[in-house]
Every structure is written in C-alpha cells, then in structure tokens.
C-alpha cells in the first residue's frame, strides 16, 4: 500500500490491523557518469514498494531531498541543509505518531542521512523507530563483495547503479570505462556517512563523480539479485520489528 494512493478512510482501517509504516529516504545527487541522479531515492523506494506489496505494509512517499552539499559542484544535485532535513523528518515522524503509528521503519539509501535521521528519531518516546540502510544486511553485502569486491567503493557504487538498472534506463559513458583510483581503508573509514569536503574541493578530487567506485561493473542481472536479497531481508526485519 502506498500512502499517497490511499484515502484517509483506508488508513483509518489499516491502523486497526497494523501500527507500522515504512518510510524510504534517499537523495537527489550526481552518481557519476552512468548513475541516475535519483539513485539513492530509487533504490530505497523500489525496495520498500516491493516489500509493501509482498506483506501488505504501508509505504510512505520517499523522502528524496536530503543533504548532499559535497556534490553541489555537479549539475542536477539538490541539497537541503542538515537542519532543514532533520526538522522535516521530525515533523513527518510526529505526524505519523499523532495518527497512531507506533512502529516507524526508515529504509535509507543515502549515507549522509543517517546521523540526522537518528537525531530526529531521538525526539520521541513511547514509539519504536528503526533506521536501516538497504546495504546493512548480510545477504546484500555478500553479493556486493561477490560482484565487485574493492571496486564497490563509496559513491556511485556499482551495486546501487545495478539496482536502478532493473526498472530504469541504463546509461553509458566513456568516462565510466576507466577504473577510478582505489580508496584506502583509512579513507573509507574517515569519510563514511558521506563526510566529504566542500563541493569544488570534492569535484577536484573526484572529477567524474565516482568515489572509488567502478560503476561500469554494474549489470542488470546483478541488480535483480541485489534487489531480491534486499527485499527479502527488509521484509524479515520489518516483520520482526513490528513485534517489538
């Protein structure tokens, strides 16, 4: 069930049988030469939508706009300030809670969202809010390692691009053919959660938008398997979460 295509009467009825909702979150930012600008939002939305169909869960509209300042030197990126995003999430959570939802499951697709989502969730008591990124699950990570190993990198990853290729257009660019510079373990650790520098500095360091990710390794059949693994993992995790 998608919230935006239901009526208030249907939501009233739904709340008699479940107090849970899945809220996908992503971003609108460049994803390298062959990645769609909406990649993070697309991944979270498509996984959540399939979960909703499979187990009759209610799915909120994807929160696409998010902080992405480090990518603002690339045309098409839209960035919210951290405070605006955090306050928006708090208001959205509050709206659902006021209607009687007690289990809010946030399915995230953008690393920079995580701290702010946790901050927003910390404002509420006597309600269960769980935040998971689609790549958190063991079965998903096993496939990412199998398909791409060290070339998964940090941004414009082949795994996320492969997922978008399942139901969306597939792009090609000569810029994506050459592998990027591999990232060190220390660099990945220091910059996890999209902790990157100012826009111009970031573009100077990563001029084609990829951050250690060899995007051209993405294949649609990889995306099918990654999507299936993520959907299955989220379904199990969400149903377990509802019992808390």
195 pLDDT above the threshold of 90: no
CATH code where residue 141 lies: 3.40.50.10310
Sequence-separated (6 or more) residues with CB below 8 Å from residue 12: none
Q: Beta partners for 155?
A: 211
Q: d(Cα 176, Cα 148) in Å, to the nearest integer?
A: 15
Instruction: Name the residue with tokens 């910059």.
Output: 191
Question: Looking at the 3D structure of the chain, how many domains does it have?
Answer: 1
What tens digit of pLDDT does each residue of 33-58 get? 999 999 999 999 999 999 999 999 99
78 pLDDT above the threshold of 90: yes
Whole-number mean pLDDT of the chain? 97
Position 189 scores a pLDDT of: 87
Position 185 scores a pLDDT of: 85
pTM: 0.96
Position 62 scores a pLDDT of: 98
Contact 33, 208 (CB under 8 A): yes
Position 194 scores a pLDDT of: 86
Position 191 scores a pLDDT of: 87
Q: Burial, 206: exposed, middle or buried (Cβ in 10 Å; 0-12, 13-18, 19+)?
A: buried
Position 125 scores a pLDDT of: 94
Confidence of residue 193 (pLDDT cuts 50, 70, 90): confident
Q: Beta partners for 219?
A: none
Average pLDDT on 66-83 reads: 98
User: CB 137: neighbour CB atoms within 10 A?
Assistant: 18
User: CB 88: neighbour CB atoms within 10 A?
Assistant: 16
Q: Which residue range(s) make up the domain with 165?
A: 3-242
Average pLDDT on 76-94 reads: 98
What tens digit of pLDDT does each residue of 128-187 get? 999 999 999 999 999 999 999 999 999 999 999 999 999 999 999 999 999 999 998 889
What tens digit of pLDDT does each residue of 153-170 get? 999 999 999 999 999 999
């Amino acid at each position: 069930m998608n919230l935006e295509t239901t009526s208030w009467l249907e939501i009233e009825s739904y709340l008699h049988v479940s107090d849970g909702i899945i809220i996908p979150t992503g971003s609108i930012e460049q994803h390298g030469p062959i990645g769609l600008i909406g990649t993070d939002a697309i991944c979270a939305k498509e996984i959540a939508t399939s979960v909703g169909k499979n187990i009759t869960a209610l799915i909120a509209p994807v929160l696409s706009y998010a902080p992405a300042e480090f990518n603002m030197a690339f045309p098409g990126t839209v960035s919210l300030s951290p405070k605006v995003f955090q306050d928006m999430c708090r208001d959205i959570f509050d709206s659902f809670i006021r209607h009687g939802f007690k289990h809010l499951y946030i399915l995230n697709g953008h690393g920079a969202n995580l701290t702010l989502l946790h901050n927003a969730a910390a404002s509420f008591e006597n309600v269960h809010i769980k935040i998971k990124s689609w790549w958190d699950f063991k079965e998903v990570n096993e496939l990412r390692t199998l398909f791409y190993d060290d070339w998964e990198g940090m941004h414009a990853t082949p795994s996320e691009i492969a997922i978008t290729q399942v139901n969306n257009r597939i792009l090609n660019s000569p810029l994506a053919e050459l592998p990027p510079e591999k990232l060190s373990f220390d660099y990945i650790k220091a910059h996890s959660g999209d902790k990157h520098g100012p826009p111009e500095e970031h573009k100077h360091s990563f001029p084609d938008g990829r951050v250690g990710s060899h995007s051209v390794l993405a294949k649609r059949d990889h995306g099918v398997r990654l999507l299936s693994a993520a959907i299955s993992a989220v379904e199990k995790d969400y149903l377990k979460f509802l019992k808390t």
